[in-house]
Each structure stands twice: as C-alpha cells, then as structure tokens.
Amino acid sequence: MEQARLYDLIQKLADDTATPEEVQELHEWYGMVYSVGEVEWPADTEEEKQLLEQRIRGRLRLAGAGMEVPRVRHIGRMRWVAAACVVLLAGLWMVWQQREKEDVTVYNPSGRILQVTLPDSSQVWLNAASSLRYAKAFVRHRELYLEGEGYFDVAEDAAHPFTVHSGSLTTTVLGTSFDVRSFGTESSTTVTVIRGKVQVDNAGKVLDQLTPARQLQWDHRTGESRSVAADTSNVLAWQHGKLQFPGDSLASIIGTLERWYDMKIVFRDPALGNCKLYASFDNTTSLPNLLTTISNVMDIQWTIDKKQRIVTLSGKGCQ
C-alpha cells in the first residue's frame, strides 16, 4: 500500500469517518504486516505502548472481524514488513497525539451560567464572564485552564489526575467537586472543596491539601496563602442562580455585578466601597430592581447611563 493512501486511511480511522470498505482495506494490511510478530510500539512508557496497542486493535476489530493477530514469521520479508508496520504505528500515534493536543476553549459571557460536559464526563459550571480551555480528548492527562470562576464535579479516575490551572495556582484532584474563583480583576484566587480532597500548588510548591468545607485563599500581591473554613452554600450560591452577599463590602461585590450585568459600576465617594451589604437576589433580578433594593437598605442613590453602560452610586460612605 502506498504511504499516502496509508496515512489517509489512518486519519479517517482516527476521525471515525472511514467507510466499511476502507476499514477492511486497512484491516487486511494490518493483518499482513503483523505476520512479522512483535513490533516495537512508538511510545515513551509501557503504559502508553499498551494504550496505543489497545486503541489500534480496538479500532480495527469491528463487529464480526475479530481476527487474532498471527504470530507466523516470514524471514525473507521481515525487513520491509517491519518498516511498513512502524510507518502505520507511528502514523496512528501521531494522529492520536495530535488529537490530544487539540484544544477546546469555552467562553461564557455576562448574565448567564454555562454547564460544560468534559470528554471524561466530568461536569463544569462556568460563572459569568469566565472561560475554560481543555484538550479535545483526554488521553494521559486531564488538564484545564480556567479564567474566572468554575465549579467542577470530577469523574473519578485514579490513573488520570484532574488538574485545573488558574492564574499562578494549580489544583489537582482524583475525583471530587470543588470551586475555583480566579478573576484577573480581583486581588485573590480561592479554591473551595465541596466533596473529596484537592491539592493546591504554586510554582511546584504545595500550599495545602484541602478537605470538604475548606478554602484556600491566595493573595496575588503578597504571594501568601491561608486556609479557612468555608460556608459552601455561599460559595456555590452563584451555581444555584443566586447573587448572594453575606456581609460583603460594596467594593468587593461590584466585580460580580459588573460581570453579571455587563455594566461598569463606579462610586462617587470611594468610602462607599467600605459599606457592607447583607442581601440575596435571584440572578434573574433586573439591575434597576437590584439597585433599588440596595438603595433602600443602605441609603444610597444610583443612576444608569445606558449609552455608556455605567452605573454611578452616591451617598454617605462608611469607615
């Protein structure tokens, strides 16, 4: 079989687009090549070699094919057949390696929560103005890159750790659920465990191993971290459709409101940012209604410039 034809069949097999005739053609060639017996699989580790062999055989052995690999040796044809087999195996390995490297990027805009199903069936909920990048197919690693906030419910797989990169922190788990909040506009990143156990690293240094209802807080400015008890109902309120503020300062919540309503919020008096808000809203609440409620309980005034998309809050500040 010509090399160009061989690679064409390999690609179609990897993409699940090969016709039954094309699969049979490759199947017959594969059986002929394998008459040389053992072949060195082109992979770095024994685990990768076994994985590659299983995938190739699994793809080729269609229902009804079920042929056993022969072990007869033909010495006279050994050299060219072995070379051809290496071409096939190396081609298939490069195809699957390339598919592992293909990335999917999901961006969730303002005003919504997005649920994402990963290739391993793990579930991720993205908060507003958040993005997630991961490989199209998880082969050896389950590695993700988060900007913003996400809640992860991870499918258990002890052989393939699940890693989330968020800013300078790396969170690694085997099977658990946890929340990561890492917005570039905020001064800290938090990791909160809901179920199971996670390890959080910074530049290869282990910061902590968290158990349920524990939260690691990482200060971007000082590079210091601390672990505290967490109210998981507050942490996950956003996932359940709530804008929940249990005594947070206005300065700390405007980022949440800006991302949800896609508006810029400014204080006429910076001291307003020190005032604390105790309130909970459905995320379907309109911005005017939310601002009206806040103004009633905190004695502040607000205006909206719809053209510039700016909300201005004014009133007496707090110490």
The CATH number for 271's domain is 3.55.50.30
Q: Are residues 23 and 139 in the same domain?
A: no
CATH assignment at residue 116: 2.60.120.1440
**pLDDT surpassing 70 at residue 3:** no
The answer on 219 and 281 residing in a single domain is no
Q: Are residues 21 and 68 in the same domain?
A: yes
Q: Does the predicted model carry a pTM greater than 0.85?
A: no
207, 235, 263 - which closes a domain = 235
Q: Are residues 118 and 228 in the same domain?
A: yes
Q: Do 225 and 135 fall into the same domain?
A: yes
Q: With the CA atoms of 266, 268, 271 and 273 taken in that order, what torsion angle do they form, in degrees rounded to the nearest 10? A: -20
Q: Is there a single domain that holds both residue 144 and residue 182? A: yes
Range of the structural domain that residue 277 is part of: 241-315
Take residue 142 and report the two structure tokens written for it: 């389950």
- Residue-wise pLDDT for 84-143, tens only, equals 444 455 445 444 455 446 899 999 999 999 999 999 999 999 999 999 999 998 888 899
CA distance 72 to 69: 9
Burial (CB < 10 A; 0-12, 13-18, 19+), residue 19, is: exposed
